[in-house]
Amino acid sequence: MKYAALLLFFLLTLTVQAQNQKGGDDAKGIFKYENFQKPDECGSSCHVDFYAQWKQMMMSKCYTHEWDEIEYFKLAVPHAEKDSKVAGVKAGCNGCHAPASFMSGDVPPPKPNFNSRANESVSCDICHTVTGITGDTPFNFNFISNPGNVKYGNRDDSESPAHETAKNPLLSKAEFCGACHNEKSPYGAWVKATHLEWKDGPYSKEGVQCQNCHMPRTPGVTSAMGTPRQDAAQHLFHGAHDPGKVRGTVELRIHPEIQEVVPGEQAKFTVILFNQKTGHKFPTGSAEERMLWLHVTATDSKGKTYHLKVDRKGFEGEDYTIASNVLAYQDMGVPLGIPGFAGIQRDGIPEGDRIFRMPYLDSQGRMTIQQWNTASFGPDYRLGPRETKSETFTWILPDDVELGALTVKAVLNYQKLPTPVAEYLGVPKEEAEIIEVNFHQTYLTVVDD
Ligand code: HEC
Ligand code: HEC
Ligand code: HEC
Ligand code: HEC
C-alpha cells in the first residue's frame, strides 16, 4: 500500500514534469499545429458568440491583416536576412502574431494567401492553453503554453461536454496580456510597453485590469451549451482599429486670455488636454507608427481660416513633437535594398502642429518605424493615463483680419500610420485614416482699437 502510494506520487510528479515550462524563444518548434484546436472547432456550435466577436477583432487577423503582411514580408524578413543583429525577428514576429506557427517551428509561415494555419493568428486555443509566464516580467511572448484537453479560463464552476476546464487566475490579470503587449527589441529597447505603462499608472493601483476595459462583462451566454451568465467576459478587444474606442479618449478645452482682440495685436490661447479613457499611455503599443496631433485654427467673420502654430516649450528633442516635412525612416533602405536611402517625409500633416509621440530611433539616431530596429528613444511626449497637458498658441492677428466674431477651434487627430509611410509602402488607405479624437471651439470678438 505504502509502495503503491509512493509509486502514484512518482507518476504524478512525472506528469507534472511533463508539463511544458518553456516560453518565449525557447518555445520555438516544441509543438505541432495538431496540438492546437482550430478556432472554428470552438466556434461552430458551442462558443458561437465569442467566435463571432473574435472574428471581428484584430487578434484574429494579426497574421493576415495587410499591413502586418507588408511589414513582415517586405521589411522584417529581408532585414533579418541582411543584418545579423535583427536576425531573430524572422521567427520572433510570429511568437505574438502567429503563435501556433512559432511553436510548431513553421517560420516564416506561408504567406496569408496560402491559407495555412498561420492565418489563425491569436486563436482561442492560444490564449486558453496558457498556464503561466516565464520570469517576473511578461514580454516577448514568454507565455507558457500547455495545449491539450484542458482549457483554462476565469471560472472554477464551468463545465463543458467538449473538454475539461480549469481556472487560471492569470487569465484575468494584465500580466497575461503583457506577454504579447510588452516587447523588447534586439537592442534591448522597450518598443511596446502597454502593460508596463499600465503598471506605472493609476489603474493598476486601483485593480483595474486590461480585461475591465477591453473585455467588458455583460449578461450573456459564454457557450450555446451553458447557462447564461450575468457577467460574461465579452471578447471585443476593441482598440486602435475601432474609431468608437478612440473617440473621446482625450477631452480638450481652449481658453483665451482675452475676449476682445485688435487686428495687428497678439492673442494667446491655451489648450488643455486630459486623457480620461486609456489605462496606459495614449498612443500605446505600436507607438512607432501612431500619430496624435493637435491642430488649431482661427476663422474670421468672413470665413477666412488661419492656421496657428504651437508655441515651443524648449525641451530636449522637442523638434520630434512639432510637425515638419523633414525626411525620416532611412533605415528602411536596408530591407528594401536601396543603398543610401534618403528617407520619406516624416509626418505628412500641417507643419507646426503639436504631435504627442515618442520617437523611436535606430542605432544611428534616425527616426524609425521598424520597432525591431530601435536602439533608443527621443522624448516621451505622449499622454499618460489621466494625465493633463497644456499647449499654448501665441498669434499676431493679421492687420486685415475681419472685424466681428473669430472662431478658434482645436482638433485632436489620430492616425494609425503616417500617410507618407502608408503611401510609400502601398498599405491600404484605411490604415492611414484620420480619426477625430475630440475638438473644442471658442469665440472672440475682433474689434477696432
Ligand atoms: C487574446 C486572448 C484570448 C483569445 C484569442 C480568446 N480568449 Fe476567451 N478569454 C480570454 C480571457 C483573458 C478571458 C477571461 C476574462 C476575464 O477574466 O475577465 C476569457 C474568457 C473566456 C470564456 C469564459 C467567459 C466567462 O465569462 O465565463 C470563454 C468561454 C472563452 N473565453 C472562450 C473563447 C473562445 C471560444 C475563443 C475563440 C473564438 C476565445 N475565447 C478567444 C482570452 C482570450
Ligand atoms: C499571444 C499574444 C497576445 C496575447 C496573449 C494578447 N494579445 Fe492583444 N494583440 C496581439 C497582437 C499580435 C495584436 C496586433 C493585431 C494587429 O496585427 O493589428 C494585438 C492587438 C490587440 C488590441 C488592438 C486592437 C486594435 O483595434 O488595434 C487590443 C485592444 C488587444 N490586443 C488587447 C489584448 C488584451 C486586453 C489582452 C489580454 C486579455 C491581449 N490583447 C492578449 C497579441 C496578443
Ligand atoms: C481604463 C481603461 C483601459 C485599461 C485599464 C486598458 N486600456 Fe487599452 N485602451 C483603452 C482605450 C480607451 C483605448 C483606445 C485609445 C488608444 O488607442 O489608446 C485603448 C487602446 C488599446 C490598444 C490599442 C492601441 C493602439 O494604438 O493600437 C491596445 C493594444 C490596448 N489598449 C491594450 C491594453 C492592455 C494590454 C491593457 C492592460 C495592460 C490595457 N489596454 C488596459 C482603455 C484601457
Ligand atoms: C511581443 C509580441 C510581439 C512581437 C514579437 C511582434 N509584435 Fe507586432 N504587434 C504586437 C502587438 C501586441 C501589436 C498591437 C499593438 C497595438 O495595437 O498597440 C502589434 C502590432 C503590429 C503591427 C501594427 C498593426 C497596426 O495596427 O498598425 C504590425 C505591422 C506588426 N505588429 C508587425 C510586427 C512585425 C513585422 C514583427 C517582427 C519584427 C512584430 N510585429 C513582432 C505584438 C508583437
The CATH number that applies at residue 431 is 2.60.40.3880
Q: Tell me how far CA of residue 344 lies from CA of 69, 324, 352, in angstroms.
A: 21, 12, 18
9 within domain boundaries: no
Atom of ligand 4 nearest to the CA of 287: 18
Q: For residue 430, what pLDDT is reported?
A: 95
Residue 319 zone, left/alpha/beta (φ > 0; ψ -120 to 50; rest):
alpha
Average pLDDT over residues 38-46: 95
Of 202, 233, 264, which residue constitutes the final position of a domain?
A: 233
56, 63, 177, 204, best to mutate for ligand 2 pocket (most atoms within 8 Å of CB): 177
176 CB within 6 A, ligand 2: yes
Share of the chain above pLDDT 90, in %: 92
What's the 128 CA to ligand 2 centre distance in angstroms? 14
Q: For residue 276, which of 402, 133, 438 has the smallest C-alpha distance? A: 438
Q: For residue 33, which of 112, 119, 96 has the smallest C-alpha distance? A: 119
237, 247, 435, best to mutate for ligand 2 pocket (most atoms within 8 Å of CB): 237
Of 181, 200, 233, which residue constitutes the final position of a domain?
A: 233
238 within domain boundaries: no
Q: How many domains does the chain have?
A: 2
Please state, as a whole number, how many other Cβ atoms lie within 10 Å of the Cβ of residue 404: 11
Q: For residue 2, what pLDDT is reported?
A: 55
Of 187, 202, 233, which residue constitutes the final position of a domain?
A: 233
In tens, the pLDDT along 416-440 reads: 999 999 999 999 999 999 999 999 9
Average pLDDT of the chain to the nearest whole number: 95
Protein residue with its CA nearest to atom 12 in ligand 1:
171
53 within domain boundaries: yes
Ligand nearest the Cα of residue 417 is 4
Residues 280 and 402 in one domain: yes
Q: Which domain holds residue 20?
A: 15-233
Confidence of residue 449 (pLDDT cuts 50, 70, 90): confident
211 CB within 6 A, ligand 1: yes
107 has a pLDDT exceeding 60: yes
Instruction: Name the residue with cell 534616425.
Output: 366
Protein residue with its CA nearest to atom 1 in ligand 1:
127
Average pLDDT over residues 78-101: 98
Contact 120, 100 (CB under 8 A): yes
Contact 329, 421 (CB under 8 A): yes
Output b/e per residue, 29-58; b: 16+ Cβ within 10 A. eebebebbbebeebbeebbebbbebbeebb
Confidence of residue 6 (pLDDT cuts 50, 70, 90): low
N-terminal to C-terminal alpha carbon distance within the chain: 105
Please state, as a whole number, how many other Cβ atoms lie within 10 Å of the Cβ of residue 381: 20
192, 249, 370, best to mutate for ligand 4 pocket (most atoms within 8 Å of CB): 192
Residues 254 and 350 in one domain: yes
Residues 69 and 174 in one domain: yes
Instruction: Name the residue with cell 520572433.
Output: 92
- Cell numbers at residue 268, please? 494667446
Residues 228 and 249 in one domain: no
Q: For residue 8, what pLDDT is reported?
A: 55
Residues 225 and 269 in one domain: no
Model pTM?
A: 0.96
10 within domain boundaries: no
Atom of ligand 1 nearest to the CA of 222: 29
Q: For residue 247, which of 439, 12, 27 has the smallest C-alpha distance? A: 439
Residues 94 and 217 in one domain: yes
Atom of ligand 3 nearest to the CA of 290: 26
- Cell numbers at residue 315, please? 525641451
Please state, as a whole number, how many other Cβ atoms lie within 10 Å of the Cβ of residue 9: 10
346 within domain boundaries: yes
What's the 175 CA to ligand 2 centre distance in angstroms? 13
Residues 220 and 271 in one domain: no
Residues 380 and 424 in one domain: yes
Residues 167 and 295 in one domain: no
Residues 142 and 267 in one domain: no
357 has a pLDDT exceeding 60: yes
- Non-local (6+) Cβ contacts of 73 within 8 A are 108, 111
3 has a pLDDT exceeding 70: no
- Cα–Cα dist 256/278, whole Å: 28
Protein residue with its CA nearest to atom 39 in ligand 3:
210
59 CB within 6 A, ligand 1: yes
**Burial of 184 (C-beta count, 10 Å sphere; 0-12/13-18/19+):** middle
222 CB within 6 A, ligand 1: yes
From 7-11, 143-147, 255-259, 408-412, the region with the lowest mean pLDDT: 7-11
168 CB within 6 A, ligand 1: no
Give me the sign of the Cα torsion angle 43, 47, 52, 57.
Answer: negative
45, 48, 120, 127, best to mutate for ligand 1 pocket (most atoms within 8 Å of CB): 127
Atom of ligand 3 nearest to the CA of 241: 27
Q: For residue 256, what pLDDT is reported?
A: 86
Residues 268 and 218 in one domain: no
Residues 390 and 439 in one domain: yes
CA angle 300, 306, 312 (to 5 degrees): 130
In tens, the pLDDT along 162-189 reads: 999 999 999 999 999 999 999 999 999 9
